[in-house]
A and B are shown apart, each in its own frame.
Chain A
Amino acid sequence: MADLVAELGEGAVLTEPAALRLYGHDASTIRGDAPPVVCLPRTSRQVATCVRVAVAHGRPFMARGAGTGLAGGAVPTGDPVVIVTTRMDRVLHLDVPGRRAWVQPGVLNLDLDRRLAPHGLQFAPDPSSQQACTIGGNVANNSGGPHCLALGVTSAHVLAVEVVLPDGEVVVLGGDGPEPPGYDLRGAFVGSEGTLGVATAVLVRLTPLPPAVETMLVTFDDLDRAAATVSAIIAAGIVPAALEMMDGGLAAVVEDFCGAGYPRDAAAVLLVEVDGPPHQVAADAAVVEAIARAEQARAVRGAADDAERAALWKGRKSAFGAIARIRPDYYLHDTVVPRAALVDVLRQVRAIAEDCDLLVFNVFHAGDGNLHPLLLFDAREPGVMDRVHSAGRRIVEVSLAAGGVLSGEHGIGLEKRGFMADMFGPADLEAQARLRCAFDPEGRSNPDKVLPGGSRCGDLAGGPASPGSAGPGAGAGDAAEAGLWV
């Protein structure tokens, strides 16, 4: 504690129990214990110091951004030193013609977009939490969002990451060029949920804002037709900028809440957005409309201007606000299934919810099969949490059985650690553990996340200690030499 205060200053180290308790959880339903100390560094060098001090005292460490994660990735385990990146909120260097920027991990996703908009650029990953989540969090979770169907998830938009390794040394993974030498450690780091080290600066790739956009709200009386429309759009050679589906019940609730023009009595609605060069967009929009009508869509409503487009999206984004009036709590699930299996899985999800006596609504990124069942409940009801978790387990099982994966956006964290063995075999998990051990042989960085217990470095067959690995307390001199953002 004293070491941390000496290096960071009193205002940057939290030790008061009431304040520490607030860091015992993130935005998921998983609660952990209050960590022993929370640090709020401002520079890469200070982060490296936090890590070194933690290691020198034999403690693990854990990074945290805004704490909006839904899988428990930022829930403290093992009494770690928590390193909060919220004060590292500067854009370090913006290169408009080069379409890239070095940013600190605490920059908020939407703040970055706002800063870029006057230059005609954006940072493509747009998770629903984008107004609050940090770039560092996006990197840790390999975040997606509705617009990732065409543009790709965070990994496709990160060129390099400056990382404080679990031994306190600082390296830059990836680089400014397209094919840096060696392995794609940058790619391995993105989505590693804070288990390989702490990102202290990120070189993000910026995407030009599209010249033309068309947004349409399509109403269906039949869920199968809605799903068929999604497949048909893809089969027609169109990859929309966004392709969101909401079940009819949610659309009705949303309409009651914010009057965005959604139908109250449909089976499903589709929000389709196509963007790109103007003629392409016009042609694609026409094809989408034709397909929708061929699939007996009840209505196709295109946005005439930006204001109307914002109104259509408002409906989609108001989903949480709308359901809050029905029940005070919700559990947002996250699975991915092949698009062809979407309707079938949806039916099974509804059956599970009914079986567990819970309300469920569904919103999904239909374009990439990313399903988000929303279970509604009142947490104060005795015994309800057991039913909620049971429903969650069964939803995961159903998704895997349909040929899907465990998570499309939220990550594994603590929430789905227990399911990893259902998706991956022992050799697969071992391979993942090897990656982790190469970075963190002693398991100090956000321990107990992602991989189920038992995948420890010592248990792995073979594997001598990495040659010449530096011990704790190694200086950061090399970092400055390498031109890092310390």
Chain B
Amino acid sequence: MGVSAAGRPAPFAAMDALALEVGPTGPVAAVGGGTRGDLGGALDAGTRTVGAPQGILALCPEELVVTVGAGTPTTELEAALAEVGQMVALPVAEGSTVGGTLAAGHSSLHALALGPARDALLQARAVDAWGRVVTAGGPTVKNVSGFDLCRLLVGSLGTLALLGEVTLRTRPRWRAGVWVAGVADPAGVLAAGAGPTALLWDGERVWAHLAGHTDDVAAAAARLAALGCDAVVDGPPPLPPHRGSVAPSTVGELPAGHGGGFVAELGVGTVHTQRAPEAPAMPRRLHELHCSVKARFDPDGRLAPGRSPLHGVRVTG
């Protein structure tokens, strides 16, 4: 599926094959690299698994889009984009697939500059609970035609539809970046306006990633060094296993709750913790709404049974 003037894209053989594999009935789930099978609860025993098509289908750097099979490893996508000087706003990890990453909905460590993962998906061809191919979104970077199902699909853990092919928004790859770190006040660093792509804090030390024009990076590094981040380091600290989401302005309260066992993304609010986070609360009516969406898209509950983005949520009211 290229974005050529030749006409609208025809269904690809790979998507049809996936749809056939999924079929109209029976429990089924998509599996990518199996790196985050722990999310959303365990799949029911006996659930059939399918894999999405793999491979780069269309690379259009001048259009700022790339279309790939959802089963493509994120490392392969990153390499292909790097060759044309571009990147996507998705986390890249060994073993993970593009589709799996979108289904999990976790943003990259550089969300502060790149934005959340959900903003990266422009168009998705997926298989619905009836085994049909559906297209959500459009192939262009700007599109408000109809409802934004792409955003609904990101983070849905494959419970509404199974991603087969996705078109992602790309952006220029940033030039050489550098990580600096040191003991500093997180509020001060955030307010310094040095334009970091990532800012991490473990309660004591702050890590910042700076990228862009060499002179701007040097100026930013100097500003941060003056605040305490004066050491150049190889990379971010190792991240504790659990992932939570808090309001960025409340990051200062984390040491009280987690002691030294956390790394927080300043300005974003994603927190990586040693201890599993508290079950998030959700009002009853909102919970009903989420369940209603799931029920409409998958009345028989056959897509990824046992798994849900609502897993572990505490219903209140």
Contact = CB atoms under 8 A, between A and B. Distances in A.
B299 interface: yes
Contact of A420 (B146, B280, B285, B290): B146
Contacts of B292: 438-439, 466-467, 469
Contacts of B41: none
A365 B130 CA distance: 39
Interface in B205-242: 212-216, 219-220
B309 A177 contact: no
Contacts of B72: none
B276 to A, nearest CB: 14
A434 B161 CA distance: 12
B92 interface: no
Contacts of B55: none
B191 interface: yes
Interface string B122-163: 000000101011111011111111111111101110001100
A121 B45 CA distance: 51
Contact of B106 (A179, A238, A432, A468): A179
B136 A428 contact: yes
Contact of A450 (B64, B146, B150, B290): B146
B134 A428 contact: yes
B5 A338 contact: yes
B73 to A, nearest CB: 23
Contacts of A401: 7-8
Contacts of B289: 165, 171, 185, 438-439, 466
A84 interface: no
B143 A405 contact: yes
A153 B152 contact: no
A320 interface: no
Interface string A438-451: 11000000000011
Nearest to A370: B142
A463 interface: yes
B295 A336 contact: no
Contacts of A431: 128, 134, 136, 149, 161, 297
Interface stretch (B29-37, B93-101, B110-118): B110-118
Contacts of A435: 147, 149, 152, 293, 296
B144 A182 contact: no
A344 B140 contact: no
B23 interface: no
Contact of B139 (A231, A338, A416, A437): A338
Interface string A359-391: 000000100111000000000000000000000
Contacts of A411: 144
B144 A181 contact: no
A301 to B, nearest CB: 24
Contacts of A95: 249
B204 interface: no
A198 B296 CA distance: 21
A209 B245 CA distance: 26
A337 B265 CA distance: 37
B172 interface: yes
A94 B292 CA distance: 33
A106 to B, nearest CB: 21
A148 interface: yes
Interface residues of B, number: 100
A461 B296 CA distance: 9
A324 to B, nearest CB: 27
A369 B317 CA distance: 47
Interface stretch (A30-38, A60-68, A244-252, A273-281): A273-281
Contacts of A178: 107, 111, 116, 245, 248, 265, 268-270
Contacts of A99: 267
A187 interface: yes
A333 to B, nearest CB: 14
B83 interface: no
Interface in A403-448: 403-412, 416, 420, 423-425, 427-432, 434-439
B275 interface: no
B62 interface: yes
B148 A155 contact: yes
Interface string B280-308: 10111111111111111101100000000
Given A97-B187, A155-B148, A338-B140, A283 B280 contact: no
A427 B133 contact: yes
B238 to A, nearest CB: 21
A284 to B, nearest CB: 9
A172 interface: yes
A437 B5 CA distance: 35
A153 B289 CA distance: 25
Interface stretch (A188-196, A260-268, A350-358): A188-196
Contact of B216 (A169, A278, A410): A278
A208 interface: yes
A247 to B, nearest CB: 19
A472 B134 CA distance: 33
B115 A97 contact: no
A8 B262 CA distance: 49
Contact of A462 (B142, B187, B300): B300
B57 to A, nearest CB: 14
A20 interface: no
A239 B143 contact: no
B317 A481 contact: yes
A126 B157 CA distance: 34
Given A156-B119, A277-B212, A431-B161, A404 B286 contact: no
B246 to A, nearest CB: 5
A43 B114 CA distance: 35
A238 B172 CA distance: 7
Contact of B8 (A149, A176, A278, A403): A403
B171 interface: yes
B288 A155 contact: no
B149 A235 contact: no
A337 B116 CA distance: 25
Contact of A279 (B143, B216, B246): B216
A153 to B, nearest CB: 7
Given A165-B289, A239-B64, A338-B63, A182 B139 contact: no
B176 interface: no
A183 B290 contact: yes
B155 A177 contact: no
B310 interface: yes
Given A179-B106, A435-B149, 12 more contacts: A98-B248, A176-B246, A177-B269, A179-B245, A181-B312, A182-B313, A208-B193, A238-B172, A277-B220, A279-B215, A427-B130, A432-B149
15 contacts: A148-B142, A179-B106, A182-B282, A182-B287, A231-B62, A237-B86, A277-B212, A280-B213, A406-B146, A412-B146, A427-B132, A431-B149, A434-B297, A450-B146, A462-B299
Q: 7 closest Cβ contacts across the A-B interface?
A: A187-B151, A466-B292, A177-B245, A176-B247, A237-B172, A405-B138, A277-B216
